[in-house]
Structure 1
């Protein structure tokens, strides 16, 4: 059984629904309650290292003081993933509550906000090096780690999952608003994220050595600060024996995050089996994958996606069905088939986080109300009940 871990970035917001720069205070509260991992994880973040998903659960800072990150421990089952995400969302919300705030699983802020950098040398270097890109970015993603045997298996996996990654962006789309306006995108986070010079898809690799040569070449340009800024859509962990998939918006609902984790594990296992059988990886060009990613961010599940097998437009529901069929044997062997199937069905029925946000906005006319509704769903106290009662 391949293990899986999930990292989520969350907005810290006040009672009116406005992002506030209280994450550092909240993390201090968390640490004072005996959560020693938090302090060590802050030190790792300052060194530009990856978070400790494969070893320990954690709360930690992010680039902006209006957000924080949580990470689950290593999990063997999707039940564990769900339990851990609910637990750590609760810990994050409690820490934020101690400083008069809440957390919201929103990939961008619906309300106009002036992002505030987190204090620290590395964060100062990011702002200095990347200017307006680093100053403006306030986005929250979901990263899924899945175990691999070694770097060779990891690269074989990367080569075979790359064409499916835009689909993850489409069904996790949870960022339709930016600076107080509807962007007409389902995932505007994905647009903002691609401002970073190292972000996005890459071509296939001959082997693990070829992958590491590319990372070395990226670092040699002097453009990124460190390996933590190798923002490929999927990458080998620099510290752990995992593949890390980074294309998803943070999911509004825990169960949607569980579905993402199940699908990513299914993709990794399916790719590894294909590699062992000698099946050649798909040869879709990185340029086409970039277009696929844009299409996914633009329409989410409400329009057509670029099909990972054909490179041609296809209804989103059909692409999801083909993704499910592609990984079904691996899901069945892991005991995940029914849960992931039900999760995708639920998404197609009720829509994405972006659909939820727009629905609340239509019913209330208020972007702060969107944030407040998202806070309740993040905490698991709102569920899917009608939003008409959300105050303006």
Structure 2
């Protein structure tokens, strides 16, 4: 039985693109923006550098109330955009830049080392994701959660798809960010760990290889956070609409709660093959909600709407217990009617064959419904 009186905490991280409001081109002004944004910054959460100077990351403080996460997320979007305006820029919730761009790596030793080690895979890595932290009771519970949610994570990729363009061209994908991110050696789905001790053994072996720089570069789709007592879910594009980001956060908490309860109840877990998980993620990245996805149980094609309904059925009791059912249902219905961020971008481009207009449209969408 899921306890509605003891809800898990949630915290989110949004990576935002910094753009010229007229041309739509990314601007390498993160340092100036950060200086402005740290003045009179919101009391809750934080803002910090990311890999490239054309992007910035904001994060909320944790809360068990999704409406509080929504308040903080929207407040940070408003505050960061105001700081961007002072630099002659705007922020845009774009997971990749529609316009061609030469990313400028942030002058931090760790980031410079990443570029030297991983070459173009890091140099070209101007992508913006949305990460959700959900509280756990202990690392064994967290490991059970990481194992059990793997089959469901591709659906979050489909729901959040917001990166159809890459270097001035239509990529043919709903989430091309997923493809770019997959170039990094530790990124992607994971095999079954079973217990926290095994999880840490695997991480230690990866670090011993000398390939990842540190624990921060263990880029699993879902991982035990090395900073907080949370499971961190990392598959989603930054959502164009703030309300859709909140929906993703609510679904992530419901997935964690459902997986933890199933583990406690001793419900059998049969882990999918890694190859199946990668195919499901590729399909979600390619199609978004516009074409069939892979069923999370059979890994055969099934209409996207039915696959989303399967997810909602799976986490329904957890959403009901947290009071988030209506919020999620409204956002899903809006996606069905108006499309994902990827759909919005393509519609803006088709209206005038102007990639700058795509960015200007997403600037507006990023700033919508932030009151």
TM-score, structure 2 as length reference: 0.96
Counterparts of 2:58 and 2:270, CA distance in 1: 34
- SS of the residue aligned with 1:11? strand
Q: 2:15 aligns with which of 3, 9, 23?
A: 9
1:185-243: per-residue Cα shift (whole Å, max 9, x none)?
Answer: 00000000000000001101120000000110110000010000000000001121100
2:343 paired with 1:343: no
Whether the 8 Å CA contact 1:373–1:382 is kept in 2: the answer is no
2:9 paired with 1:21: no
2:231 paired with 1:243: yes
2:215 paired with 1:227: yes
- What RMSD over aligned residues (CA atoms) do the two structures have, in Å? 1.4
2:364 paired with 1:379: no
Which residue number in structure 1 is paired with residue 4 of structure 2? none
1:285-307: per-residue Cα shift (whole Å, max 9, x none)?
Answer: 11110111000000000001111
Divergent runs of 4+, >3 A: 34-37
2:301 paired with 1:295: no
Counterparts of 1:261 and 1:206, CA distance in 2: 25
CA drift at 1:382: 11
* Structure 1 unaligned residues grouped into runs of 5+: 38-55, 384-392
Whether the 8 Å CA contact 2:242–2:369 is kept in 1: the answer is no
Whether the 8 Å CA contact 1:159–1:282 is kept in 2: the answer is no
- SS of the residue aligned with 2:220? coil
CA drift at 1:34: 4.3
> In the superposition, relative to structure 1, how do residues 381 and 80 fare at CA in structure 2: closer, same or farther (>3 Å)?
closer
- SS of the residue aligned with 2:351? helix
Moved more, 133-142 or 69-78: 69-78
Q: 1:280 aligns with which of 245, 249, 268?
A: 268
> In the superposition, relative to structure 1, how do residues 299 and 138 fare at CA in structure 2: closer, same or farther (>3 Å)?
same
Counterparts of 1:36 and 1:297, CA distance in 2: 34
CA drift at 1:339: 1.1
- SS of the residue aligned with 1:19? coil
TM-score, structure 1 as length reference: 0.91
1:230-265: per-residue Cα shift (whole Å, max 9, x none)?
Answer: 000000011211000000000000010011001000
2:196 paired with 1:208: yes
> In the superposition, relative to structure 1, how do residues 145 and 381 fare at CA in structure 2: closer, same or farther (>3 Å)?
closer
- SS of the residue aligned with 1:375? helix
Counterparts of 1:380 and 1:292, CA distance in 2: 32
Whether the 8 Å CA contact 2:147–2:194 is kept in 1: the answer is no
